[in-house]
Amino acid sequence: MKQLESIELFSGAGGLALGLHAADFQHRALYEWNASAVETLRYNQKMGHESLTDCEISRADVRDVDFRKYRGVDLVAGGPPCQPFSMGGKAAGMNDVRDMFPQAIRAVAEVQPRAFIFENVRGLLRPAFSNYVEYIRLQMEYPEYPLAENSSWDQNLARLQRHKERVGKSGDGLRYRVHVHQANAADFGVPQQRHRVFFIGFRSDIETDWSFPKPTHMDGTQLAKRLAKAKGSEAKYLKGLSPWVPLSAAIRDLPMPTDKPSKKWPNHLLQNGAKSYPGHTGSPLDRPAKALKAGAHGVPGGENMILYPDDTVRYLSVRESARVQTFPDDYIFLGSWTEAMRQLGNAVPVKLAEIVGKSVAEALSGQTNKKAQASGNEAIQSS
């Protein structure tokens, strides 16, 4: 069977890339602008990390990249910068110069992949951005549709809506079936409550009944309450779920970090200065961690601290944070503690990326198998 190939934009330190590789995608190229994140990617590639072998890693502004050279690649993926839509930022959205969804859509138009996966923060689904989300979705559905440069985004939205009404499902040209889903990483076995939004599309000639993966975990308290009342198929479904993975389970076998580097546990240095303040009280050990945050001006303390039963707190080490984001222990982060934590705060949990990527890979491979079987049948009939 042909190896599924992918390219990725806005790769950061590699969370999505590692997950998609585990889902059987071979990366042709990764693009990232942040210098420290690129150093992390290249270092792990140099050290032989299999997720990054035979992969071009480029520090580049994607606005300057001609993606047509990747025509024929199966998947385009990436995480456009989330700051325009983040609840912790200014939420300027479509008026933020960091909004890179237009470049993600251009990459799809130029590569014409069989599928794409883009992720962002759940703040994107706030009511204030609902029309812009529809604008993004319609552009992804019709990536070659020419937008009017002298028109506003909402005027172009109206044009896209009229175009969809006019052509329907039978229109010529490049078209994708686009799915928009919100997922909490904790519901998929990640020891972190991290809500992400996924835009997943399949080219219109790809025959698949794909659906977003079903959760495998649930808040243990809620699971017990629902099981007590559930019957029939619901009870059967709930019995198949596991309780959320707590922070304690993720870091249980790690020693307490110290101020001296450890050969056995890289990136596991103690960072002093952790303090609680209103709204920032750290993550209890018996629950999934709060979502790690990148922070535009340093690292927000509350989201990146452990809250012990005696109400004392300490910062998570980089290695502990990598565990929270389900990176493997042999994956090394370069840069200062603040910079490494920023890389982790911007990352997609590797396990969540793998689960989502595997569902897309299976859909594409199934469609490939159908074509191969059809070709074999034609050959038999003609012989």
Q: Report CA 319 to chain centroid distance, whole Å.
A: 20
Write down the mean pLDDT value for the chain: 89
**Quick one: which of 127, 40, 69, 60 has its CA closest to 100?**
60
Give domain status of residue 100, yes or no: yes
pLDDT tier at 171 (50, 70, 90 boundaries)? low
Q: What would the mean pLDDT of 218-233 be, rounded to a whole number?
A: 96
Q: Is residue 75 part of a domain?
A: yes
User: Does residue 253 lie within any of the structural domains?
Assistant: no
Most confident of 41-50, 98-107, 165-174: 41-50
Average pLDDT rounded to a whole number, residues 273-295 = 89
Q: How far apart are CA 15 and CA 307, in angstroms?
A: 25
- Cα separation, 40 vs 52, in Å, equals 11
Q: Report how far residue 65's alpha carbon sits from residue 93's, in angstroms, rounded to the nearest whole number.
A: 23
At 302 the pLDDT is: 64
Q: Checking DSSP bridges between strand 195-203 and strand 115-121, what pairing results, if any?
A: antiparallel
Domains: count for the chain? 1
- Element spanning 27, H or E: strand 25-32
Mean pLDDT of 331-350: 94
Residue 91, pLDDT above cutoff 50? no
Residue-level pLDDT at 93: 39
The pLDDT of residue 162 is 94
Which residues belong to the active site? 82
In a domain, 227, yes or no: no
Confirm whether 36 is domain-assigned: yes
Question: Is 296 among the domain residues?
Answer: no
pLDDT tier, 119 (very low <50, low <70, confident <90, very high otherwise): very high
Question: Which value, in Å, is the radius of gyration of the alpha carbons in the chain?
Answer: 22
Residue 382 in this model has a pLDDT that exceeds 60:
no
In a domain, 195, yes or no: yes
Average pLDDT over residues 371-382: 46
Q: 1-10, 57-66, 234-243: which has the minimum mean pLDDT?
A: 1-10
pTM score, whole prediction: 0.91
Q: By C-alpha distance, which of 319, 317, 353, 303 is closest to 12? A: 353
For residue 214, the model assigns a pLDDT of: 96
Residue whose C-alpha is closest to residue 14's, from 79, 73, 63: 79
Query: Given a cut of 50, is residue 310 above it in pLDDT?
Result: yes
Average pLDDT over residues 280-293: 93
pLDDT at 83 over 60: no
Q: Which CATH number fits the domain that encloses residue 114?
A: 3.40.50.150
> Quick one: pLDDT band at residue 94, thresholds 50, 70, 90?
very low
Q: Say whether pLDDT at 124 is over 90.
A: no
What's the rounded Cα separation, in Å, for the pair 350 and 320? 14
Domain residues for 37? Answer: 4-216+347-375
- pLDDT, position 170: 65
What span, in angstroms and rounded, lies between the C-alpha atoms of 346 and 368?
34
Q: What end-to-end distance do the CA atoms of the chain give, in Å?
A: 24
Q: How does pLDDT run across 189-223, given as a tens digit for each residue?
A: 999 999 999 999 999 999 999 999 999 999 999 99
**Whole-number percent of the chain with pLDDT over 70:** 88
372-383 mean pLDDT:
45
Only one residue has tokens 């190896």, namely 3
* Contact present, 32 and 40 (Cβ < 8 Å): no
What pLDDT is recorded for position 82?
53
d(CA 300, CA 345): 10
Q: Compute the average pLDDT of residues 139-160.
A: 92
What DSSP line would sit under 53-121, residue for residue? TT-EEEE--GGG--GGGGTT-SEEEE----GGG-TTS---GGGSTT--HHHHHHHHHHH--SEEEEEEE
Q: What is the pLDDT of residue 26?
A: 97
Q: Is residue 42 part of a domain?
A: yes
